[in-house]
Structure 1
Amino acid sequence: MGKRKVLTGLLVVLLLAVLVISGCSSSPQASSDQGAQASGKLDKMTLQLKWLPQSQFMGYYVAQAKGYYKEQGIDLQILPGGSDIIPEQQVYNGVADVGVTWVSSLMKYQSQGWDLVHVGQIFQKSALLLVSKTSKGINSPADLKGKKVGSWFGGNEYEIYALLEANGLNKEKDLKLVQQDYTMNQLLNDQLDAASAMTYNEYGLLLEAGMKESDLHVIDMNDAKVAMLEDCLFVKSDWIAKNADLYQRFLKASIKGWQDACADPAVAGKTVYDADKSVSLDHQVYMAKEVAKLVEPQGFDPAKIGYTDMNAIKQTGDLAHKYGLLTKPAVISEDTFASKYWQQATGK
């Protein structure tokens, strides 16, 4: 009996020592995350993309591939978008928990009474360009007069409207706006004088088609002072009210994924390509390198990925109202553009 008591006492002492050491080395958040993993139960979440799987969304794919969501106790399903999928509708109807959309588009739905909340800004700059062949002689926005200019419309046209009016052009009388497809063939075949292009996608298609940068002239919406913010994260207000902790964990994992993706876009492009071979590996890598410039512009602190610049939000809202996307000024408040979730997730 004496030996048993001694052994039992030693086991108790050892157990207490392990518990003390574990407690000292774990933060409350780490303990929470470890508890979620230890239980084996992951919180299910769905993320609705604005478009097809491509490096535009590389941060989420990198975070998923590296297990960052699982580390935060999340089982994330990434839903691809498409021309017939509207992220705002998907989130509002409960098909997805979190969505990716352009800020101007989100403002439109908010203005219609949809209880959607902006909860993170991934792109810090606009990626929209108007591209023309140098042979067309379009060296400034004023040179668009009398030309055929392509737009995808569907909410993508308002920066162009702002550009035109800011340079004294009437969109109805001074030029012809043409429905543009998602290739750049209309520009290559001279059916358009100038075409819309995203820095990370369509501009690259022109280069891949054999055009040289010296063959092209670019009008950048940022340089023209008419930029409107693009890819952001948004949720339904009643969902975030019940799932603030879940969203913050999602955001932590996503930011980590975006930081890795921007630090090594070649690997990020390969990760997206492996997830869905919708375009070539070379194009995914090209896209990744260009997207990194939008998420982390020159001089931008990687620790601030997801940060919302309220001045840029206001500019987007002002332009959206002035040029007809919104019938009344955007409501910009903590209820519609909530910064607290990013602040709590990052500790900033």
Structure 2
Amino acid sequence: MKKGKLASLLAVIMMILLVAAGCGSGGTSTTQGTGTSDTGKANSGKLDKVTLQLKWLPQSQFMGYYVAQAKGYYKDEGIDLEILPGGSDIIPEQQVNNGVADIGVTWVSSLMKYQSQGWGLVEVGQIFQKSAMLLVSKASSGINSPADLKGKKVGSWFGGNEYEIYALLEANGLNKDKDLKLVQQDYTMNQLLNNQIDAASAMTYNEYGLLLESGLKDSDLHVINMNDAGVAMLEDCLFVNSDWISKNEDLYVRFLKASIKGWADACADPEAAGKIVYNVDQSVSLAHQVYMAKEVAKLVAPQGFDPANIGYIDMNAIKQTADLAYKYGLLSKPAVISDNTINSKYWKEATGK
């Protein structure tokens, strides 16, 4: 090879080596651990794995998480979210306490029960601002007020769902053991439809809709709403293991930011949210999922409630739930309400409040 060609070839090789070195500088891969900065996530491209345990099967009760997942809000926050469905044999508190899930959804009264047993669980967000629990009767039954429940058969799911009913009865001077008959209710509304019971437990977003779908109209029914009766207990909240949150504060705040965006979108367009949930698990009809979504939106962002405050923990409502849970026997001792059991700091960080 001639000297001129050899020199040119060496020059090309040197240029390639210099370019390769330049591309490699600062490009060393970084392992992303919990709480990694946004810069670290951008460089590594890795997502933090988070597992969310639902209280029940996939349905519009949980639409905010599904909407946030479908729209990529969790990925935007550097999170790979896995949503675990619940069921009659799954207890979210156990799943989180045992480390099967990082974050759980449960009712506040249920969480307080496990906290009272020494479990290191802490509420870190309140999604439902109002109770969805109703007592529903046919208009023909003559039950126009709580006092009219005297001498009637009243359905309850029990298993922790009965305490608002107990409070309702006592607030209206009725003895739950003497003045009426509480009956085990199944998860359909057939007992009420078939006149086997006079009043049935129903959630605004589910069982009440089943009655309407059966052909009954609002005018055919009478409703006792626990919020209106002053005995409401808080339902769907977010909770974590205290050990987990102590190591993953930034991760949870990012999760909450994405979740709040998802819930805000779902409440603004519940029909679209219902379709997203329906596509996840077609266990009920699309029409019912959309109905549920519209009703859930009223619980998450009630009339006059700023959607920017989704997830806000109302301590007065927390105290009412705790007082009722203790008074009617769900708790054997008063609930301890402190930063170790109910903590708003993460919501404040997520919302900038």
TM-score when normalising by structure 2: 0.89
Alignment correspondent of 1:157: 162
Aligned Cα root-mean-square deviation (Å): 1.9
1:270 aligns with 2:272: no
1:40 deviation in Å?
Answer: 2.0
1:250 aligns with 2:255: yes
1:81 aligns with 2:93: no
1:142 aligns with 2:147: yes
Q: 1:166 aligns with which of 140, 164, 171?
A: 171
Does the 8 Å CA contact 1:270/1:281 hold for their aligned counterparts? Answer: yes
Alignment correspondent of 1:53: 58
1:299 deviation in Å?
Answer: 0.5
Does the 8 Å CA contact 1:52/1:82 hold for their aligned counterparts? Answer: yes
Paired residue secondary structure (2:129)? coil
35-44 vs 125-134, greater mean Cα deviation: 35-44
1:35 deviation in Å?
Answer: 3.9
Paired residue secondary structure (1:260)? helix
Does the 8 Å CA contact 1:187/1:193 hold for their aligned counterparts? Answer: yes
Q: 2:100 aligns with which of 87, 95, 98?
A: 95
Does the 8 Å CA contact 1:37/1:71 hold for their aligned counterparts? Answer: no
Does the 8 Å CA contact 1:117/1:236 hold for their aligned counterparts? Answer: yes
1:39 deviation in Å?
Answer: 1.4
Q: 1:71 aligns with which of 70, 76, 79?
A: 76
Q: What is the one-letter code of the residue matched to 2:156?
A: S
Q: 2:122 aligns with which of 113, 117, 126?
A: 117
User: How many residues matched?
Assistant: 325
Alignment correspondent of 1:11: none
Deviation digits for residues 2-51 of structure 1 (CA, Å, limit 9, x no counterpart): xx9xxx9xxxxxx9xxxxxxxxxxxxxxx943641441211111100000
Q: 1:179 aligns with which of 184, 197, 203?
A: 184
1:216 aligns with 2:221: yes
Q: What is the one-letter code of the residue matched to 2:274?
A: G
Any unmatched runs of 5+ in structure 1? 9-14, 16-30
1:283 aligns with 2:288: yes
Alignment correspondent of 2:7: none
Q: What is the one-letter code of the residue matched to 1:247?
A: Y
Q: What is the one-letter code of the residue matched to 1:46?
A: T
Distance 1:337 1:206 in 2: 36
Extract structure 1 runs of 4+ deviating beyond 6 A: none
Alignment correspondent of 1:225: 230
Paired residue secondary structure (1:207)? helix
Does the 8 Å CA contact 1:33/1:71 hold for their aligned counterparts? Answer: no
Paired residue secondary structure (1:232)? strand
Alignment correspondent of 1:206: 211
1:137 deviation in Å?
Answer: 0.5
Q: What is the one-letter code of the residue matched to 1:290?
A: E
Paired residue secondary structure (1:307)? coil
Q: What is the one-letter code of the residue matched to 1:293?
A: K
Alignment correspondent of 2:47: 42
1:345 deviation in Å?
Answer: 1.1
1:326 aligns with 2:295: no
Q: What is the one-letter code of the residue matched to 1:126?
A: S
Paired residue secondary structure (2:320)? helix
